[in-house]
Amino acid sequence: MSFSAVIAIVALSQSDWVRRWFAPRQEPWRTRALRNLAMLLLTGIVIEIVLMPIALYHFHRAGAYGALANVVAIPLMTLVIMPLVAVALALDLVGAGAPVWWVAGQALSMLIGLAHLISSQPGAVTKLPAMGLGSFLLFAIGGLWLALWRHRVRFVGLVPASIGALQLALLTPPDVLVSGDGRHVGITDPETSQLIVLRETSSDFVRDNFTEGAGMGGETIALSQWPDANCNSDFCVATLHRREHDWRLLISRGRDMVPERALAATCYRVELVIADRWLPSSCKPRWLKIDRAYLAHTGGVTVDLGKRETRTVAQDQGLHGWWRQPKPRSQRKDGQD
């Protein structure tokens, strides 16, 4: 992200109209100060635009008002906080830095207060579901073209960048999210923009991964409390209404043994089965079975029911092995632990 920001600053500063903007001229100092302030704001806006696709691709969220905040934050940090810290460190050599440290602390409190103020505004944070690699590459190609070329030919880079932006605008969250071990399942509810989860967890990491992957915020809802789900100690059966079609899901939530014949009959009546255990071959849903054996080859999975498509961690990670589940002991070679 720092590399992209530097490229954007260099490309902006090398443009002809920016050079004309900063060309030497006779003018009052107030006018020049206003031009410098406007350039600072413009630079922040350009950096925000450049970094937004990267942030959305990796973190599924991006700030919208960062350029406005930087108009105050950058001068505050450069002209006030850093000099105060330098003076305080120098005075610490003789034990007299405490008053300056107090002033620096007040300035840092102002900076943190500014961050909280900006982030609390409506629309300050943009959240989107996971972006595909194709859309990200369109942004990258368009941005590099805009940065590396000069004169009017550089605007050709707006074409792939605009296509990537259109794909983002049409992006929809997945219907179902499954963790790599199958223990955590999330179902998106487009009507309430909330995430229904199989298991409530105190782990912020798990919850944040699911909400960010779905492009949603707010509190999650337990599947057992969802009106369209019926749960017992072993399984939940949920009904999802997507694109004028009802999808029935069977999701495991317990570890106790269940009669194979009853399980097979239930699997036959649903379109999708999700389990954190190995299910027998007699469990044959109408469309897809995501159990421990399936997840061992794919890692985490997102499901688009309307398109009947899945997206897996394996598709993005290639041959890297850190996402894979351990093999059963019966499948390991002799001598391997």
Q: Confirm if 303 and 173 have CB atoms less than 8 A apart.
A: no
Distance of CA 68 to the CA centre of its chain: 22
pLDDT over 70 percentage in the chain: 84
Q: Of 185, 203, 307, nearest to 252 (Cα)?
A: 185
Q: Of 230, 275, 273, 228, nearest to 256 (Cα)?
A: 275
Residue ranges of the domains in the chain?
Answer: 2-128, 176-317
Give residue 164's pLDDT: 83
* Average pLDDT score over residue span 46-74: 77
Q: Amino acid identity of 262?
A: A
Give residue 102's pLDDT: 95
* Average pLDDT score over residue span 141-160: 84
Give one DSSP letter per residue of 96-121, joined into a string. Answer: --HHHHHHHHHHHHHHHHHHHHHHTS
Give residue 334's pLDDT: 46
Q: Which helix (H) or strand (E) holds 51?
A: helix 29-59
- Left if phi > 0, otherwise alpha if psi is -120 to 50, otherwise beta: which for 182? left
In Å, how far are 26, 127, 211, 240 from 249, measured between CA atoms? 73, 27, 20, 8
Of the pLDDT bands very low, low, confident and very high (cuts 50, 70, 90), residue 194 is confident
Q: Is 289 helix (H, G, I), strand (E, B) or coil?
A: strand
Number of Cβ within 10 Å of residue 165's Cβ equals 17
Mean per-residue pLDDT over the chain, rounded: 81
Least confident of 27-36, 44-53, 244-253, 321-330: 321-330
Residue 219 has pLDDT above 50, yes or no: yes
* Average pLDDT score over residue span 320-337: 51
* Average pLDDT score over residue span 104-117: 92
Highest mean pLDDT, choosing among 14-18, 51-55, 184-188, 203-207: 184-188
Query: What DSSP designation does 155 have?
Result: G
* Average pLDDT score over residue span 200-209: 67
* Average pLDDT score over residue span 149-159: 83
Cα gap 76→81, rounded to integer Å = 6
